Amino acid sequence: MHTINLLMDIAVIIIAIQLFVFLVIPIGLLFLVNKGVAALPKLMRRYAPRVQFRFRQAAEIAEQASQKVAAPIIAAAAFGSRVERMRRRLF
């Protein structure tokens, strides 16, 4: 009888330790996430203009590249339509 009580006490202690560990880890992670979210506005103020500048540069480069690619195609289509109009007028 004494052995059963001792084993029950040990089981309760082990369960309490497990519960403590499984509660401390998520609470610690939530604490760290909260600190990170609190620091985010300061970082955003520092890095947002830089990021925005880089995105604007990338948009300008993409626009220039698309103009360079599309310009010959547009010119060829315009030339084709001019030739077609001239052909209609002549014949």
DSSP 37-75: HHHHHHHHHHHHHHHHHHHHHHHHHHHHHHHHHHHHHHH
Predicted pLDDT of residue 4: 87
User: Is the residue at 39 inside a domain?
Assistant: yes
Per-residue pLDDT for the chain (91 aa), expressed as one digit of tens each? 688 889 999 999 999 999 988 999 899 999 999 999 999 999 899 999 999 999 999 999 999 999 999 988 988 888 888 888 888 888 7
Residue 75 domain-assigned (yes or no): no
Q: How many domains, the chain? A: 1
Domain that holds residue 32: 1-65
Number of other residues whose CB lies within 10 A of the CB of residue 22: 10
- Residue 21 belongs to some domain of the structure: yes
Residue 40 placed within a domain: yes
User: What DSSP state is assigned to residue 1?
Assistant: -
Q: Which residues of 47-84 are buried (b: 16+ CB within 10 A; e: fewer)?
A: eeeeeeeeeeeeeeeeeeeeeeeeeeeeeeeeeeeeee
Could you give the CA distance from residue 32 to residue 34 in angstroms, rounded to a whole number?
5
